[in-house]
Amino acid sequence: MVNVDVAAELHLQTFGRSASVVALAPGRVNLIGDHTDYNDGFVLPMAIPFGTSVAVSPRADRRVCGHSERFGTTEFSIGDPPTATGGWGRYLHGMAWALTDHGVDVGGFDCVVVSDIPGSSLSSSAALEMAIGTALVSLVGDALDAATLARIGQRVEHEVIGVPVGIMDQLISAAGEAGAASLIDCRSLELQPIPLPESVRVVVLDTGTRRGLVDSEYAKRRSACERVAAALNVAALRDASLDDLGRVDIDPVDRRRAHHVISENERTRAAAHAAAEGDIERLGSLMDASHESLTDDYAVAGPAPDAAVRLARTIDGCLGARMTGAGFAGAAIALVTVDQVGDFVAEMAERFVAPPEQPSTDEPAFHVVWPVDGARVVQPTA
């Protein structure tokens, strides 16, 4: 996990004084339930031991100066429109703006950001939002529950970044529990911890490929789902069954998109049940089925994550493998028996090569992960 002392130390170096608050928020993988959250459906993500740390201190004026170890410096005034800020500063400005609008008077502040979340698909944006939010709320002596903070992060994505994301990434980064995945009902925002069986590990298969979420493909999928929900006369696809889908006259591509979502909701609840029962074979096969549905019906897997999944399934100890998150590029995941995970990772590292149609821009990497707690204020040791 990212070293919070690095954020505290960088704050001291950059601004010449100690940080008042240091906060940490993790990235995530989603075990199953992708492209269901914006359909009011079910997801089963877990927070991972890679994260983003934010160190902040107050300023007397209403200026903000943010410094990111990776992306450099950004400056703005509280009250400026957040869309006027560019680069990573949009997340910082967006969170300051949305918190202020929510009634948390964050005022001016200095801040540094340090992250060790590798690659893409592991929710580095949500972790950044939740770390900033956790730090700022604490800085002004306020408190917000995880669901409210997640909604504020989602609002930033919608209104400042311009991506119509669901709530999964922000909510699991804010509210994850060590040792457990969380079955989230994305309508009620209730989380049910599902302890991960000790006999398995999750392996992040980072293909070293990138593709921004801003890509209109994500928004297109969401619109297709909304069209089908309207045709079925339901609030969201969460309220529809495969039988309902069979009775309505809609565009064939839209039908396949909806087929994925409705079947994925069923698989996700079944997977949570299987995990809770310790039925790791069933959990793995549901993950496999989810990947096929995301490939065939939803068309989002992406060539490199798909190649990683196919290779993973040929290696001993792999119980199931799938893309994770939005898809298109970046990381996939595998569920692997704990006693074979070392050999599994070694073999993936030796054999994985991204396909020519989507080559790696960074070195592929394979990480064994176990669920960690969500966002929190931390005490630097330095």
Residues numbered 171-190 forming contacts with ligand GLA, rule: CB under 6 A: none
Shortest Å, Cβ 285 to ligand GLA: 20
Indicate which single residue of 2, 14, 32, 35 sits in contact with ligand GLA (rule: CB under 6 A): 35
Q: Round to whole Å and give the CA distance between 253 and 241.
A: 17
**Other Cβ atoms within 10 Å of 26 Cβ, number:** 31
206 is catalytic: no
In Å, how far are 345, 352, 366 from 355, measured between CA atoms? 19, 9, 17
Shortest Å, Cβ 123 to ligand GLA: 6
Q: Which is nearer to ligand GLA, 186 or 232 (CB)?
A: 186
Q: Which is nearer to ligand GLA, 22 or 168 (CB)?
A: 168
Shortest Å, Cβ 328 to ligand GLA: 10
Helix/strand/coil for 118: coil
Determine, following the binding rule CB under 6 A, whether residue 168 of this chain makes contact with ligand GLA.
yes
Residues numbered 134-163 forming contacts with ligand GLA, rule: CB under 6 A: none
Q: Which is nearer to ligand GLA, 22 or 29 (CB)?
A: 29
Helix/strand/coil for 54: strand
- Cβ neighbours of residue 286 closer than 8 Å, sequence gap 6 or more: 32, 267, 270, 271, 274, 320
In Å, how far are 13, 123, 382 from 144, measured between CA atoms? 30, 21, 28
Determine, following the binding rule CB under 6 A, whether residue 34 of this chain makes contact with ligand GLA.
yes
- Eight-class DSSP state of 293: H
Determine, following the binding rule CB under 6 A, whether residue 42 of this chain makes contact with ligand GLA.
no
Q: Active site residue: 34, 37, 40, 169, which one? A: 169
In Å, how far are 39, 86, 108, 183, 313 from 239, measured between CA atoms? 9, 39, 44, 18, 33
Query: Which uninterrupted H or E stretch holds 378?
Result: strand 376-378
Shortest Å, Cβ 163 to ligand GLA: 7
Provide the H-helix boundaries in 52-209: 89-102, 124-139, 146-156, 168-175
Determine, following the binding rule CB under 6 A, whether residue 366 of this chain makes contact with ligand GLA.
no
Query: Which uninterrupted H or E stretch holds 304?
Result: helix 303-312
- Cβ neighbours of residue 322 closer than 8 Å, sequence gap 6 or more: 32, 287, 288, 290, 291, 294, 309, 332, 333
Please choose, out of 33-41, 240-248, 313-321, 345-353, the segment that lies near ligand GLA by the rule CB under 6 A: 33-41
Indicate which single residue of 23, 26, 37, 308 sits in contact with ligand GLA (rule: CB under 6 A): 37
Task: Report which residue's Cβ sits closest to ligand GLA.
Answer: 166
Shortest Å, Cβ 128 to ligand GLA: 13
Indicate which single residue of 40, 169, 177, 254 sits in contact with ligand GLA (rule: CB under 6 A): 169
Determine, following the binding rule CB under 6 A, whether residue 264 of this chain makes contact with ligand GLA.
no
Q: Which is nearer to ligand GLA, 92 or 165 (CB)?
A: 165
Residue in 172, 169, 114, 188 with CA at minimum distance from that of residue 378: 114
Q: Which is nearer to ligand GLA, 163 or 345 (CB)?
A: 163
Q: How many residues bind ligand GLA (CB under 6 A)?
A: 10
Residues numbered 270-329 forming contacts with ligand GLA, rule: CB under 6 A: 325-326
Determine, following the binding rule CB under 6 A, whether residue 165 of this chain makes contact with ligand GLA.
yes
Determine, following the binding rule CB under 6 A, whether residue 330 of this chain makes contact with ligand GLA.
no
Query: Greatest CA span in the chain, whole angstroms?
Result: 66
Determine, following the binding rule CB under 6 A, whether residue 38 of this chain makes contact with ligand GLA.
yes
- Eight-class DSSP state of 158: I
Indicate which single residue of 166, 284, 371, 374 sits in contact with ligand GLA (rule: CB under 6 A): 166
Sign, CA dihedral 112-114-120-121, equals: negative
Task: Look up residue 144 and give its amino acid.
Answer: L
Shortest Å, Cβ 107 to ligand GLA: 29
Q: Which is nearer to ligand GLA, 34 or 177 (CB)?
A: 34
Q: Round to whole Å and give the CA distance between 57 and 43.
A: 36
Please choose, out of 5-13, 164-172, 225-233, 352-360, the segment that lies near ligand GLA by the rule CB under 6 A: 164-172
- Eight-class DSSP state of 159: I
What are the residues binding ligand GLA (CB under 6 A)? 34-35, 37-38, 165-166, 168-169, 325-326
Residues catalogued as catalytic:
169
